[in-house]
Amino acid sequence: MRIIGKQEVEDIAIGAALLGTGGGGDPYIGKLMALQAIEEYGEITLLDVDEIPDDALVAPSSMMGAPTVMLEKAPNGEETVAAFRQLEAHLGKKIYATFPIEAGGVNSMLPLALGARLGLPVVDADGMGRAFPELQMVTFYLDGISATPAVLADEKGNTMLLSTIDNVWTERIARAATIEMGGSTMTSMYSMTGKNLKDSGIKGILKLEEEIGKSIRLAKLNNVNSIDEVLKKVDGFELFRGKVSDINRKTETGFARGIASIEGLNEYKEQTLQLRFQNEHLLAETEQRLLCVTPDLIAVLDAETGLPITTEGIRYGARCVVIGIPCHPKWRTEKGIETVGPRYFGYDVDYTPVEELVKKGVAY
């Protein structure tokens, strides 16, 4: 157990945006919510997952919808509390602690803001080790944990309680409701026991995010290469360097979808990288080679500062470095690949681990 304050939140927000692979919601908005909550209610207690009683009730707090919507419709903070309280009322039991559902900009910040506001501890674990676009794309689904009962809340005061036959139906119904509620909602689902979280969650994710953010911050102060420092922290690989030459992005069916084209610079000159995303970056390829594909992580970093660039933040002319990071082993299982592999998203390629693609230079 330890107490975290404003500086830790600043560092976690940067690391979350990087591990969020372009998605998970606007990290700036989430960071402001967490910082304001600390200012008003005090610092946050962060628990290691092994410190939770096995029979304790825990539940995440998260945002659902297209990240681009948050640029125009920022949450007011009441939605997260409303969703949490309605879930408690339905279950008839107090929630012991909260945790992030994924490593993503706003979705790593919302549990911190809620924890400060309600005086709840936050558990250092999540259900992805990165960000994915759909509700069933969590390690809890792989282990048979139900997403429902689930509560959705919007900024107007509407709430919705869902009970579904499986987690794929939770995604379908909740996505349709989220579109009607303005394109984004705050949610509380995947309530579980402490033992469930110990067995199924990905541990130490907030600590890793904090270390990533801290390494970027200190690199600037010490005048060292921040991207090299990041790659060391995540055991990652540089995939490409270049300048954004085109961005085709639209919000549809509750997701931010699109393709970013990056013209190569330096040793990558005469090559063009295409990044395909659905909230998160899912596939990186040149004309000759597949460089990285889901469930491995693809992150875009500012070439000068090393700071992560989200899918809604990619702009024409931006100079960037694209990196690949091996995913958690849970995603490399047969069910993991079936759930979040390239063919699920409609890409006609087989999953190959990023380290093999880098080593062998696998071409189509």
Write the secondary structure of the chain as one string of H (helix), E (strand) and C (coil): CEEECHHHHHHHHHHHHHHCCCCCCCHHHHHHHHHHHHHHHCCEEEECHHHCCCCCEEEECEEEECHHHHHCCCCCCHHHHHHHHHHHHHHCCCCCEEECCCCCHHHHHHHHHHHHHHCCCEECEECCCCCCCCCCCCHHHHCCCCCCCEEEECCCCCEEEECCCCHHHHHHHHHHHHHHCCCEEEEECCCEEHHHHHHHCEECHHHHHHHHHHHHHHHHHHCCCHHHHHHHHHCCEEEEEEEEEEEEEEEECCEEEEEEEEEECHHHCCCEEEEEEECEEEEEECCCEEEEECCCEEEEEECCCCCEECCCCCCCCCEEEEEEECCCHHHHCHHHHHHHCCCCCCCCCCCCCHHHHHHHCCEC
Question: In this predicted structure, what is the pLDDT of residue 144?
Answer: 97
Please report which confidence band the pLDDT of residue 72 belongs to, taking 50, 70 and 90 as the band edges.
Answer: confident
* Residue 71: per-residue pLDDT: 65
Which stretch of 72-76, 139-143, 283-287, 299-303 has the lowest confidence by average pLDDT?
Answer: 72-76
Please state, as a whole number, how many other Cβ atoms lie within 10 Å of the Cβ of residue 32. Answer: 16
Mean pLDDT, residues 112-116: 96
- What confidence category does residue 360 fall into, taking pLDDT thresholds of 50, 70 and 90? confident
pLDDT in tens, 185-243: 999 999 999 999 999 999 999 999 999 999 999 999 999 999 999 999 999 999 999 99
Whole-angstrom Cα distance, residue 148 to residue 164? 7
pLDDT at 68: 65
pLDDT band at 332 (very low <50, low <70, confident <90, very high): very high
Q: Average of pLDDT values for 160-172?
A: 97
pLDDT tens column, 171-186: 999 999 999 999 999 9
The percentage of the chain sitting over the pLDDT mark of 70, rounded to a whole number, equals 96
Instruction: Indicate the pLDDT class of residue 30, thresholds 50, 70 and 90.
Output: confident
At residue 341, the pLDDT reads: 97
d(CA 352, CA 360): 11
Say whether pTM exceeds 0.85: yes
pLDDT higher than 70, residue 362? no
* Digit-coded pLDDT (tens) for 78-96: 899 999 999 999 999 999 9
Mean residue pLDDT across the chain: 93
Assign 104 a pLDDT band (cuts: 50, 70, 90).
confident
Token pair 């825990």: residue = 58
pLDDT in tens, 254-294: 677 899 999 999 999 999 999 999 989 999 999 989 999 99
pLDDT at 21 over 90: yes
Relative to beta strand 44-47, strand 122-123 is: parallel
Q: How confident is the model at residue 363 (pLDDT cuts 50, 70, 90)?
A: very low
Provide the pLDDT confidence category of residue 67 given band limits of 50, 70 and 90. low
pLDDT reported for residue 256: 76
Kindly tell me if the per-residue pLDDT of 38 is higher than 80. yes
pLDDT at 20 over 60: yes
Domains with residue ranges and CATH for the chain: 2-205 (3.40.1610.10), 226-360 (2.40.390.10)
pLDDT value, residue 364: 37
